[in-house]
Amino acid sequence: MTTAPVGSVLIVGAGLLGASIGLCLRNLGVETWLRDASPTAEAVGEDIGAGLSERAWVGQMPEPQLVVVATPPDVTVSLVVAALEEFPGAVVTDVASVKGAILRGLEATGADLTRYVGSHPMAGREKSGPVAARGELFTSMPWVLCSSEQTAPSARRLVKALAVELGATVTEMSADEHDTTVALISHLPQVMSSLLASRLQDTPLHHLALSGQGLRDTTRIAGSDPGLWVQILTANAASIVPALHGVQEDLQRLISTLEAPTAPGSRLDVAQLIAEGNAGQARIPGKHGGAPKAFAQLTVLVDDVPGTIAHLLTFIGEIGINLEDLRLDHSPGQPVGLAEVSVEPNRREELVEALTTNGWKVVQ
Ligand SMILES: NC(=O)c1ccc[n+]([C@@H]2O[C@H](COP(=O)([O-])OP(=O)(O)OC[C@H]3O[C@@H](n4cnc5c(N)ncnc54)[C@H](O)[C@@H]3O)[C@@H](O)[C@H]2O)c1
Ligand SMILES: O=C(O)C(=O)C[C@]1(C(=O)O)C=C[C@@H](O)C=C1
């Protein structure tokens, strides 16, 4: 990709997102520098191989071709403006989870935004900081680009090339369309997960010990950073509130129905509500951003000893079957794990046979 960064890249904010971008760029051989308000985050970023710490290499950082601001949303406007001023030859992007408030904040400063492109990788984790960074975080994940009326085509091309180089799939839309979209597909899930998990605060531990995968699936992102999410939710409140009203209506409907569960029509109403969930869930696209696709699953029993999962994955690769997804679980109190493997439906039978013939125990 000829338009990908060939000069150096400066990442401002060496946390989860910044260090993940750095790890990936370094793997691609791009000279990458890290700047963080926290000296520790900057040093850890360098230690994990996400880039060179500006503090540790005083005066040695060249003028970057691209600056990526990967800090919390509430400091993003001032850092973008500062980067545009400090590096007059560089394109500047940010990766904040809200785009409208940031664009309006930037416009209000009167800064020349021809070299600025807002962006948002739709990939992340419920953890913060450089230690949680992953070089492959963006592989096959969507990355939204929000150019403004002022954005120069060359700036847009460079940031698009960055996302593509990091393995992401680029979608372009206005900042406002972005914010309405993420209110439903990212911000509402965070709120629902947090509200659900908050119900567990007083639950006795021996009750929680019975939790199955359902609770884990629906509460993973409840572990997210409150400091970051207070900024995201308040900055996008105007788009989130209508989505919350929709949930409120459905909740009220369910409460009323379950208050009279045997009344005529109640069972149908409950079934309808669950079916509406089925219909929504089936519309979520699969891997690679393609059309929704149902993969076939099978569960393999794996000994809880080092290297077993690696053996299993190598075996699947060697017989020429593409692993579409993998989920690991543990049998409570047992020295075995359960590896749930997803493959193309037409390869499932072949895989089950190959695994069983070669001594693996397929349990489902
Ligand atoms: N966490 C996610 O899943 C995710 C996904 C996509 C986008 N984002 C966006 O990416 C941005 C960063 O999120 P994160 O999860 O990496 O957070 P993080 O807390 O892991 O990292 C943020 C880093 O920014 C640094 N920082 C704060 N103020 C600074 C300043 N004034 N100057 C320089 N550095 C400063 C912090 O010290 C920290 O190291 C946010 O805007 C967030 O909305 C997050
Ligand atoms: O997987 C997760 O931990 C996330 O929720 C990441 C997620 C998302 O909603 O997809 C969360 C917020 C970001 O702005 C982008 C990505």
Residue 73: nearest ligand to its CA? 1
Residue of the nearest CA to atom 3 in ligand 2? Answer: 125
> Per-residue confidence at 304, pLDDT binned at 50, 70, 90?
confident
Whether 118 and 102 have beta carbons less than 8 Å apart is answered as yes
State both tokens at 129.
Answer: 């900081």
* Residue 259 shares a structural domain with residue 325: no
Residue 223: nearest ligand to its CA? 2
| pLDDT over 90 at 324, yes or no | no
- 206 in any annotated domain: no
Give the ligand 1 atom nearest the CA of 73.
41
Average pLDDT estimate for 267-286: 94
* Residue 321 shares a structural domain with residue 346: yes
* Residue 102 shares a structural domain with residue 239: no
Ligand 2 centroid from CA 92, angstroms: 22
Over residues 227-261, the pLDDT tens digits come to 999 999 999 999 999 999 999 999 999 999 999 99
Report which of residues 345 and 178 the model is more confident about.
Answer: 178
Q: Poorest-confidence range of 40-49, 175-184, 303-312?
A: 303-312
Residue 117 DSSP SS3: strand
CATH number at residue 110: 3.40.50.720
How many angstroms separate the CA atoms of 213 and 224, rounded?
Answer: 19
> Per-residue confidence at 364, pLDDT binned at 50, 70, 90?
low
* Residue 165 shares a structural domain with residue 95: yes
- 125 in any annotated domain: yes
| pLDDT over 90 at 262, yes or no | yes
* Residue 254 shares a structural domain with residue 317: no
- 236 in any annotated domain: yes
* Residue 15 shares a structural domain with residue 158: yes
What is the percent of the chain where pLDDT is above 90?
Answer: 85
- 256, 282, 308 - which closes a domain: 282
Over residues 307-321, the pLDDT tens digits come to 999 999 999 999 999
Over residues 149-160, the pLDDT tens digits come to 999 999 999 999
Average pLDDT estimate for 124-143: 94
* Residue 38 shares a structural domain with residue 136: yes
* Residue 28 shares a structural domain with residue 133: yes
Q: What does 270-301 look like in DSSP terms, one character per residue?
A: HHHHHHHHHHHHHTS--GGG-S--PPEEEEEE
- 209 in any annotated domain: no
- 4 in any annotated domain: no
What is the per-residue pLDDT for 171?
Answer: 98
- 229 in any annotated domain: yes
Average pLDDT estimate for 125-152: 95
What is the per-residue pLDDT for 5?
Answer: 67
Residue 94 CB neighbour total at 10 angstroms = 28
- 287 in any annotated domain: no
Backbone angles phi, psi at 323, to 5 degrees: -80, 120
Strand partners, 33: 10, 52
Tokens 């072949």 locate to: 350
Ligand 2 centroid from CA 227, angstroms: 15
Whether 221 and 193 have beta carbons less than 8 Å apart is answered as yes
CATH number at residue 304: 3.30.70.260
* Residue 167 shares a structural domain with residue 194: no
* Residue 309 shares a structural domain with residue 274: no
> Per-residue confidence at 293, pLDDT binned at 50, 70, 90?
low
| Owning domain of residue 300 | 296-362
- 290 in any annotated domain: no
* Residue 127 shares a structural domain with residue 268: no
| pLDDT over 80 at 334, yes or no | no
Ligand 2 centroid from CA 160, angstroms: 20
Residue of the nearest CA to atom 2 in ligand 1? Answer: 124
Q: Is the CB of 121 under 6 A from ligand 1?
A: yes
What is the per-residue pLDDT for 79?
Answer: 98
* Residue 153 shares a structural domain with residue 258: no
pTM of the prediction?
0.86
| pLDDT over 80 at 289, yes or no | no
CATH number at residue 244: 1.10.3660.10
Ligand 2 centroid from CA 319, angstroms: 34
Give the ligand 2 atom nearest the CA of 123.
16
What is the per-residue pLDDT for 4?
Answer: 65
How many angstroms separate the CA atoms of 32 and 26, rounded?
Answer: 7
| pLDDT over 90 at 329, yes or no | no
Residue 139 DSSP SS3: coil
As for how many domains the chain has, the answer is 3
Over residues 194-208, the pLDDT tens digits come to 999 999 999 999 999
Spell out the residues 6+ positions from residue 90 whose beta carbon is closer than 8 angstroms to its own: 10, 63, 64, 65, 66, 67, 83, 84, 115
Choosing from 12, 16, 75, 125 the residue with most ligand 1 atoms within 8 A of its CB, the one to mutate for a pocket test is 16
Residue of the nearest CA to atom 5 in ligand 1? Answer: 124
ipTM exceeding 0.95, yes/no: yes
Q: Is the CB of 125 under 6 A from ligand 2?
A: yes
- 260, 282, 304 - which closes a domain: 282
Over residues 69-107, the pLDDT tens digits come to 999 999 999 999 999 999 999 999 999 999 999 999 999
One-letter amino acid for residue 264 of the chain: P
Residue of the nearest CA to atom 2 in ligand 2? Answer: 125
Choosing from 122, 193, 231 the residue with most ligand 2 atoms within 8 A of its CB, the one to mutate for a pocket test is 122
